[in-house]
Amino acid sequence: MKKKLLITGAAGKVGWSIARKLRETGRYDIVATDLEEDAERDIASLDVTNAEDVRRLAEGVDTILHIGWAEDDEDFLGKVLPVNVTGAYHIYEAARENGVRRVVFASSNHATGFYRAGENVEPEDPYRPDSFYGLSKCYIELLGRLYADKHGISSFNVRIGNYPGNRPPASRRALKIWISERDLASLFACCVEADPKIDFLSLYGTSANSDNYYDIAYLKDLIGYEPQDDAAELQAEAERLYGGLKDDEQPLQGGGFTNR
């Protein structure tokens, strides 16, 4: 039987790319959701702040890909806490109540943005969030740790680097942490398919960029992730398209998030 996946935020950049590419594989029964229903793209309505709706849609689900996110990432009291943190809590509670096997959360490189550029950071290193946005990703990763330890829900946190959709990376920093559409979809599929015995995993999600901030080679053996793309191959095209690349490199990995 096909695994049933519930995807939140499926109308957004990351969510739609994953929903569309995973549907193309024909391997999964996919329930794609976002705030607004979209019949054309077969997206159902689900606001993750509505506990009852989240619980209903999680019935019979094998894995939840939790990608939905309110945009204003520094509005702590207005968005970060009531939408993103509360929404993640509802997702994990619904997973517990429905016996969902795994939750894969769209985390972010900004959970560790205060490490210096050039410093090798492993996912197990201490959190160094660079913003309320990054801080809430740390909290939600730990929420996953709690539900893994206490309730046996396997929890994966993909710290996505930079995903600009179907455009090349637009800045020098983005070149180092970029992920292509096919690598993004393949990485989330690897997280769904990874050994059921892995109860908790945080990882950095990038393509095989020549000049990557992160060493992700070990993911091949661990979860079968073999990225196909390299941002360096798109640099010339990006420079043409944008009339040069934004020079946003800073001493710290989180770039502009560290000082805004």
Ligand X SMILES: NC(=O)c1ccc[n+]([C@@H]2O[C@H](COP(=O)([O-])OP(=O)(O)OC[C@H]3O[C@@H](n4cnc5c(N)ncnc54)[C@H](O)[C@@H]3O)[C@@H](O)[C@H]2O)c1
146/40 Cα distance (integer angstroms)? 38
CB of 114 or CB of 163, closer to ligand X: 163
160/5 Cα distance (integer angstroms)? 20
> Helix, strand, coil: what percent of the chain each, to 5?
40, 20, 40
**Minimum CB–partner distance for residue 243 and ligand X (Å):** 21
- Give SS3 for 76: helix
**Minimum CB–partner distance for residue 61 and ligand X (Å):** 16
Structure tokens at 257: 């998030």
First to last CA, the chain: 48
Taking every pair of Cα atoms in the chain, the longest distance, rounded to a whole number of angstroms, is 52
CB of 153 or CB of 184, closer to ligand X: 184
CB of 15 or CB of 255, closer to ligand X: 15
192/1 Cα distance (integer angstroms)? 15
CB of 140 or CB of 148, closer to ligand X: 140
- Give residues in contact with ligand X (CB under 6 A): 8-9, 11-15, 34-35, 46-49, 67-71, 83, 87, 106, 108, 160, 162-163
Residue with tokens 């091949």: 220
74/191 Cα distance (integer angstroms)? 28
**Minimum CB–partner distance for residue 36 and ligand X (Å):** 7
101/113 Cα distance (integer angstroms)? 30
CB of 102 or CB of 137, closer to ligand X: 137
Cα 240 → chain centroid: 29
Residue with tokens 């970029």: 178
**Minimum CB–partner distance for residue 197 and ligand X (Å):** 26
DSSP lists the bridge partners of residue 64 as 6, 103
CB of 32 or CB of 223, closer to ligand X: 32
116/128 Cα distance (integer angstroms)? 11
DSSP lists the bridge partners of residue 190 as none
Q: Among all residues, which ones are annotated catalytic?
A: 133
